[in-house]
A and B are shown apart, each in its own frame.
Chain A
């Protein structure tokens, strides 16, 4: 089983779409690795620089509502995967993006807005999150302190993560 967690990249906006995560002009790539330098390239967010060290060191994204809206492109989870980000935490996700994450064995964790707000209190203080997948818990820690949150993900999505993704799950079952 993979481990989930590490340094956090905070993206303080709702409705971040798939074109912002990976622009369509890179959809002509057929290898996931080729997407790597273009993660969040077109995201316009105050103070955000896709080339910053905080972006390249991140292992977890914390963001707001409706993350991953727009296209069905699985290139969005893939560009995170090849940049070693395998957890996205948001107050809500667009359906296709969320399913793509679990289908790839990655975590799309939904938390209530109040909990997201608490995570954002650590925004400017070099925060890390570790995910205890077996116990549905995550711990955020930074110089500001640490806090544990519990979360819920659907049983099916959990099974997909354990199986390593939907292809392996479906292949053994159907």
Chain B
């Protein structure tokens, strides 16, 4: 029977079907950070079950508040650090080596086509960019994942989104996903995976595909998914080369996961991006999206570039391309957080950090902090932030503030102008 990629992954990982419609899957990678894991650790200890199913399949990072900002966050760090040491979890990234979870784990090669991935973080759907089934879960699911290496799911439907055409100048993956969310609505993909297909996706880098999949959850989706292809292969090759005779063999192996011709989709959506404008959110829900032209001139107090959505090297290059030789508006606070130490170093080597600093940006260490108003760029009531992050809920970056979600290109030109601006009207250097 013809199957979708998600159905194939479910079939290959099926541990149990306790009731019709519910599948318990074996999990290949359990990812952990310091906000949602400590409660699971404490509960396991309290139950006398302080064990891990396989220390090599558990990957841990401290990323949300780092360095710790107060006693409470220091305690969260200590709980997860002590736990990782006590269970000999070698893939643990602490301060100095830590980065935003959904940027650092792919960078380390932990996510492979056909994998099942869970994490106590809703943006885990990012990792579907590698042709994996990757889902955000709560602390109890995480706890069972740590202890038993399994997780339960309803059999998901698949929504196929064909993204056709070529990205116009000044328009990026972020604009595409905002458009997709606008079309699907904030609940249009609940209990579904979103499969991103089409020539525009084929032409995208892994970084761009991660940006697409990252925001599947904002339409309610369980996982974003892209077909693993040559681009995936090149990204992963240094990690997997010893597993295959050659790249051709690896690619053949990847392609067995592809959705079959004639498989069943719950819905097929076609989006032509040829004439698309840069997109921006205007309200407090991620499906409240407009063309940037409709918001041009809106004053902002802060511009934030970073996060698991848009804190990768490609994003920093785009922003720097607009910022080179420019100064940001004196009315704006510019904050940029390269998502991992490697990205930070690469940006430094390429002169991108200097461009940001010359323009007047504050460059922070890799962390999630500002995106959810926990640290490193919290808004005051009434303030407006132009942000490359993924969530514009009321109070998200600070109580009483408003967040406009947008691409690194829109963020950069907005920082220059001090008002929402359209990158198509600005010169950009190739970096």
Contacts and interface: CB of A to CB of B under 8 A. Distances in A.
Interface residues of B, number: 57
B49 interface: yes
Residue of B148, B152, B222, B374 ringed by the most chain A CB atoms within 10 A: B152
Contact of A156 (B22, B76, B373): B22
Contact of A15 (B64, B65, B187, B374): B187
B395 interface: yes
A83 interface: no
A131 B315 CA distance: 51
B142 to A, nearest CB: 9
A10 B38 CA distance: 33
Interface stretch (B13-21, B89-97, B242-250): B13-21
Contacts of A156: 18-19, 21-22, 152
B190 A154 contact: no
Interface string A8-19: 000000010101
A17 B393 CA distance: 8
Nearest to B221: A95
B370 to A, nearest CB: 11
A99 B139 CA distance: 11
A104 B76 CA distance: 22
A42 B154 CA distance: 31
Interface string B71-95: 0110110010000000000000000
Interface in A94-112: 94-96, 99-100, 103-104
Interface stretch (B39-47, B107-115, B291-299, B416-424): B39-47
Contacts, number: 148
B184 to A, nearest CB: 12
Contact of B140 (A15, A69, A103): A103
A20 B75 CA distance: 25
Nearest to A29: B72
Interface string A140-174: 00000000000000111001000001110011011
A127 interface: no
A168 B140 CA distance: 10
Contact of A174 (B36, B139, B148): B148
A30 B372 CA distance: 18
Given A15-B285, A30-B39, A69 B395 contact: no
B143 interface: yes
Interface stretch (A46-54, A55-63, A71-79, A118-126): A71-79
Contacts of B121: 72
B231 to A, nearest CB: 28
28 contacts: A15-B187, A17-B393, A20-B394, A24-B373, A27-B35, A28-B65, A28-B76, A30-B39, A73-B35, A94-B187, A95-B191, A96-B136, A99-B138, A100-B141, A154-B154, A156-B19, A156-B21, A156-B22, A156-B152, A159-B19, A166-B140, A166-B144, A166-B152, A167-B47, A167-B144, A170-B147, A171-B49, A174-B24
Given A74-B138, A156-B22, 13 more contacts: A19-B391, A19-B396, A24-B374, A28-B72, A28-B374, A30-B39, A66-B220, A73-B138, A99-B152, A100-B138, A154-B21, A171-B147, A174-B15
Interface of A: 15, 17, 19-20, 23-25, 27-30, 32, 42, 44, 65-66, 69-74, 77, 92-96, 99-100, 103-104, 154-156, 159, 165-167, 170-171, 173-174
